[in-house]
Structure 1
Amino acid sequence: MTTTDEQLKEEMKKTSKHFSDDKFWGKLKKYAKKAGASVVYAVLLLYFTLQKPEVPTKAKATIIGALGYFILPLDLIPDVMVGVGYTDDLGALGVALFQVAIYIDTDIKQKAKEKLIEWFGEGVDTSDIDSKIN
């Protein structure tokens, strides 16, 4: 069954109750240190890709789904579990990154890295994720 752009847009409307800029930045700022640089980098890459007008609706739906899952307070593995709480989030984010990697350009990576440096300081290593989406 083929999904039309209209169906995707309708689905995006439904999931938008779990994703908004305010919810996104609120959770990210609150849990950035606990989630770690890799999770935050993946989230930022998806967020900045979502902002690009030329990204197709289907790719945006994938991104919103992954970011919505990240924002949801109830996860498969609760985020409060030390050491493993963000494992499921990173898995969902990784799948989304792989699916939309073609739209992640140097500008998006730079914006994400600048935000990482702001929150984590210089020397944050993004090579693991960068190598997987190139």
Structure 2
Amino acid sequence: MSEGFSASFSREEMEAIRKSLRDEARFGADFMARLKRVAKRIPFTEDLLAAWFCTRDPQTPRRVKLTLLAALGYFVLPLDAIPDFMPLIGFTDDAAVIAAAIAAVAGSIKPEHRERAKTAMADL
């Protein structure tokens, strides 16, 4: 895990992430609803799910959870560097944020998180 990871979120984005994460159940519902709407159009759906399952694991360190939740929050929130409705490039910023977060905490995403993600893919 890279302890030096820091994301460049604007003040507004950080406040929106904090607000969204305050209600964990609502955040989870928002995340899954958004993922179901776009799952077929994005190639990193399985990574999103693995990150989500990692955040739900009580053994995952708090710093890892916060890093992943910030990235997942960026995916869920309507604030985007590149609007998601743009064909072909709409999810590139989301993919970059998720990839950076996963790279920063890769050792904490366990094989069982990835297995749960594969299983959950069938339900999307």
TM bracket, shorter-chain basis: 0.7 to 0.9
Higher alpha-carbon deviation: 59-68 or 38-47? 38-47
Q: Which residue of 2 aligns with 1:6?
A: none
Q: Which residue of 2 aligns with 1:88?
A: 93
Q: Distance in 1 between matches of 2:39 and 2:74?
A: 16
Structure 1 residue 30 displacement after superposition: 1.3
What is the aligned counterpart of 1:25 among 14, 17, 32? 32
Which structure has more relative contact order (CA 8 Å, sep 6+)? It is 2
Q: Which residue of 1 aligns with 2:60?
A: 55
1:54-133 paired onto structure 2 within 5 Å: 54-119=59-124
Q: Which residue of 2 aligns with 1:123?
A: none
| Bigger radius of gyration among the two | 1
Taking only the aligned residue pairs, the percentage that are identical comes to 34
Q: Distance in 1 between matches of 2:100 and 2:72?
A: 12
Secondary structure of 2:64's aligned partner: helix
- Answer whether contact 2:16 2:77 (CA < 8 A) is retained: no
Name stretches of at least 5 consecutive residues in structure 1 with no aligned partner.
1-11, 120-134
Structure 1 residue 40 displacement after superposition: 0.8
Q: Distance in 2 between matches of 1:88 and 1:100?
A: 19
Count of matched residue positions in the alignment of Structure 1 and Structure 2: 106
